[in-house]
């Protein structure tokens, strides 16, 4: 028997467009299952622009702008910002699903432009003003983060083997998750937890890199809730150091396309069949081996997860905001400020 011969499963996909879409999305669904994001994101502790290159500083600037313009949680509403270099003044391109994000970007840029030449005491006022307005602009996202924090803290505390030595910290966390509906107060309180040494020790002691940990999610959402002030501080620092980049800024808006659905599943929608389509012709014999290895990587049924994700009507495909902006710059021959790539919330 020829080991390279394909094992036929189901009727052939005769529509060439549908066949191509399946081949495009099958690896993405598998990657989504294998590489689910969890735990805390990377935290950049350095806030002094003088200690970094211009490339790093400008990318961070765009990243922070994107974050402030993204006022709803979830990948369907992600925002992206890029700056086009022009002699009369840079143009900031924003991709978002909501037009009100453009108005907020214009307001933030006006505030950052106005901070030029101000004394340090007034700069702090600018930071606070931008942070407060951005927090209220993002009430929807903050409500979602607060809900996820409560849910995961409840799970984490239930799983905690012993509370000995952690009682004061757990009481503080309990108070954080039950704060009244004051978005500003909640974000201020979360900020104070961001560098809490005992919290980091507790999380590291009760987390695993192999399995999902609600403690990692607790740290993640505390970091999210407390990050507005740091991001605004960095924006003001950069605006003070490079005021020429904010001379006569203009803003343009690109609407993020609506999500679409995966192609309909069929008899070929199973993991081993999909693996054969991902492999070159001369490596078809490895499909079964790869399938067996994949089933051992996770403590859940990866076959069921693959079929379930692919067949779920809630699974949607979304054009990444960064890709939309990169395509726009490329096909319109636009020049990035400092040759720096755009950033996304």
Residue 333 is encoded by which pair of tokens? 């021959």
Task: For residues 216 and 295, state if they share a domain.
Answer: no
Residue 45 is encoded by which pair of tokens? 């502790």
């006569």: which residue's tokens? 248
Q: Is 189 contained in some domain?
A: yes
Task: For residues 127 and 97, state if they share a domain.
Answer: yes
1 forms beta bridges with none
Q: Is 226 exposed, middle or buried (0-12, 13-18, 19+ CB in 10 A)?
A: buried
User: CB under 8 Å to 90, separation ≥6 — which residues?
Assistant: 83, 84, 245, 246, 247, 249, 250, 337
């199973």: which residue's tokens? 270
Task: For residues 196 and 340, state if they share a domain.
Answer: yes
pLDDT 10s digit of each residue in the chain, 345 long?
344 444 566 677 878 888 898 888 899 888 888 875 444 444 443 444 455 688 888 999 999 999 999 988 776 678 899 999 999 999 999 999 888 999 999 999 999 999 988 888 889 999 999 999 999 999 999 999 999 999 998 888 877 766 666 777 788 888 888 876 789 999 988 888 766 666 777 667 666 655 567 888 888 899 999 999 999 999 999 999 999 999 999 999 999 888 888 888 888 888 888 999 999 988 988 888 988 888 887 778 888 888 888 888 777 788 888 889 999 999 999 999 876 566 566
| Count of domains observed in the chain | 2
Task: For residues 62 and 194, state if they share a domain.
Answer: yes
Domain that includes residue 293, residue range: 16-33+264-312
Q: Are strands 91-96 and 316-317 parallel, antiparallel or unpaired?
A: unpaired
Nearest partner of 70 among 93, 94, 46, 51, judged by Cα? 94
Task: For residues 111 and 158, state if they share a domain.
Answer: yes
Residue 342: what pLDDT? Answer: 60
Rounded to whole angstroms, how far apart are CA atoms 57 and 48? Answer: 9
DSSP label at residue 72: S
- If DSSP codes are grouped into helix, strand and coil, which group holds residue 262? coil
Task: For residues 201 and 111, state if they share a domain.
Answer: yes
User: CB under 8 Å to 322, separation ≥6 — which residues?
Assistant: 80, 342, 343, 344
Residue 320: what pLDDT? Answer: 84
User: CB under 8 Å to 333, separation ≥6 — which residues?
Assistant: none
């974050």: which residue's tokens? 67
Residue 265 is encoded by which pair of tokens? 């599943």
Residue 14: what pLDDT? Answer: 75
Rounded to whole angstroms, how far apart are CA atoms 261 and 317? Answer: 6
Task: For residues 269 and 255, state if they share a domain.
Answer: no
- Helix locations, the chain, DSSP H: 16-34, 54-69, 100-114, 120-137, 139-159, 167-177, 183-193, 197-205, 214-241, 271-278, 287-295, 302-311, 321-331
Residue 289 is encoded by which pair of tokens? 């081996």
Residue 345: what pLDDT? Answer: 63
Residue 207: what pLDDT? Answer: 63
Task: For residues 118 and 148, state if they share a domain.
Answer: yes
């Amino acid at each position: 028997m020829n080991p390279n011969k394909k094992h036929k499963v189901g009727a052939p996909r005769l529509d060439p467009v549908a066949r191509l879409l399946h081949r495009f999305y099958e690896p993405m669904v598998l990657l989504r299952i294998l590489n689910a994001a969890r735990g805390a994101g990377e935290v950049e502790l350095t806030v002094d622009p003088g200690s970094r290159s211009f490339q790093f500083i400008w990318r961070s600037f765009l990243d922070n702008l994107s974050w402030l313009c993204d006022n709803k949680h979830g990948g369907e509403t992600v925002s992206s910002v890029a700056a086009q270099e022009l002699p009369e003044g840079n143009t900031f391109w924003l991709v978002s699903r909501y037009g009100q994000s453009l108005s907020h970007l214009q307001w933030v840029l006006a505030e950052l432009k106005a901070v030029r030449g101000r004394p340090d005491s007034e700069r702090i006022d600018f930071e606070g003003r931008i942070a407060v307005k951005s927090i209220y602009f993002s009430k929807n996202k903050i409500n979602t983060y607060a809900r996820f924090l409560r849910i995961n803290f409840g799970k984490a505390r239930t799983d905690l083997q012993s509370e000995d030595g952690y009682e004061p910290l757990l009481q503080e966390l309990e108070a954080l998750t039950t704060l009244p509906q004051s978005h500003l107060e909640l974000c201020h309180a979360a900020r104070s937890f961001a560098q809490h040494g005992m919290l980091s020790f507790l999380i590291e002691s009760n987390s695993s890199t192999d399995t999902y940990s609600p403690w990692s999610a607790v740290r993640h959402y505390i970091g999210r809730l407390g990050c507005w002030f740091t991001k605004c501080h960095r924006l003001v620092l950069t605006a003070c150091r490079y005021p020429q980049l904010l001379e006569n800024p203009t803003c343009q808006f690109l609407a993020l396309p609506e999500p679409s659905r995966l192609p309909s599943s069929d008899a070929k929608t199973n993991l081993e069949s999909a693996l054969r389509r991902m492999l070159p012709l001369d490596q078809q014999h490895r499909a079964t081996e790869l399938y067996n290895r994949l089933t051992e990587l996770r403590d859940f049924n990866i076959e069921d997860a693959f079929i379930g994700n692919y067949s779920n009507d809630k699974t949607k495909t979304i054009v990444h905001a960064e890709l939309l902006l990169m395509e726009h710059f490329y096909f319109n021959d636009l020049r990035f400020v400092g040759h720096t790539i755009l950033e996304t919330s």
